[in-house]
């Protein structure tokens, strides 16, 4: 299932409005009419770009990916060195940045729909696969430069995101900030261990 990015400025504007409504009222209460109202357009224009609410959800999943891929955006000086690039990405993943890129309640609502809708399931899997594949490539680049000797970059990337997915799912229930940070750092250390990096 190929990825169809949100290239049209109007598409992005509509999806951002849909996301805004979903954050405020819940995904189940978000609608084409409410989305149109947020940006002051006729609902028929929303339907022109997105045939139904289901298609808005498909677009929203693409928007989630666009947001989450920002963890791979690092300063130019960091991107020039594979090890620094990888450590910066790991820092980004296990930091407040990752958790603020997209609203958890909307993300988990989209994920829940995957159990009832095969198209959403496929799109959500493609989203998570894209994150893993990009991290895998960063690990491969480190291997090529001799700064890592990871035997199976794809499996290692997958395991790191298993840690990430589980960490944020669990930590969304943790109210104590100190406990939250302590556990997040413990999970980060486990990820570094998978890469044979020690904390510095």
pLDDT digits (tens, 9 = 90+) for 62-83: 999 999 999 999 888 888 899 9
* pLDDT for 172 beyond 80: yes
Q: Report the alpha-carbon distance of residue 114 to residue 68 in Å, rounded.
A: 18
pLDDT of residue 197: 67
User: Mean of the per-residue pLDDT values for the chain?
Assistant: 91
Whether 4 has a pLDDT exceeding 60, the answer reads no
pTM over 0.75: yes
* Residue range(s) occupied by CATH 1.10.10 in the chain: 9-51
pLDDT at 177 exceeding the cut of 60: yes
Instruction: Average the pLDDT over 18-42 and give the result.
Output: 96
> Poorest-confidence range of 2-11, 46-55, 97-106, 123-132?
2-11
pLDDT at residue 159 is higher than 80: yes
Whether pLDDT at 199 is above 80: no
List where CATH 1.10.357.10 sits in the chain.
Answer: 64-194
The per-residue b/e assignment along 122-154, b for 16 or more CB within 10 angstroms, e otherwise, is ebbeebbeebbeebbebbbbbeeeebbebeebe
Which fold, 9-51?
Arc Repressor Mutant, subunit A (1.10.10)
Q: Which CATH architecture has domain 64-194?
A: Orthogonal Bundle (1.10)
């Amino acid at each position: 299932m190929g990825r169809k990015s949100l290239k049209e400025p109007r598409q992005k504007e509509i999806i951002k409005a849909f996301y805004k409504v979903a954050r405020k009222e819940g995904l189940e209460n978000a609608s084409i009419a409410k989305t149109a109202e947020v940006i002051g357009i006729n609902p028929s224009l929303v339907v022109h770009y997105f045939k139904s609410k289901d298609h808005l959800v498909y677009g929203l999943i693409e928007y989630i990916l666009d947001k989450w891929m920002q963890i791979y955006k690092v300063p130019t000086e960091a991107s020039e060195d594979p090890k620094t690039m990888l450590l910066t990405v790991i820092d980004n993943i296990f930091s407040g940045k990752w958790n603020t890129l997209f609203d958890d309640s909307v993300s988990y609502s989209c994920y829940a729909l995957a159990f009832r809708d095969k198209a959403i399931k496929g799109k959500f899997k493609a989203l998570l696969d894209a994150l893993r594949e990009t991290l895998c490539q960063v690990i491969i680049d480190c291997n090529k430069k001799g700064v890592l000797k990871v035997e199976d970059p794809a499996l290692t990337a997958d395991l790191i995101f298993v840690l990430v997915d589980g960490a944020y799912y669990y930590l969304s229930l943790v109210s104590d900030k100190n406990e939250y940070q302590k556990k997040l750092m413990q999970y980060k250390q486990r990820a570094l261990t998978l890469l044979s990096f020690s904390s510095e």
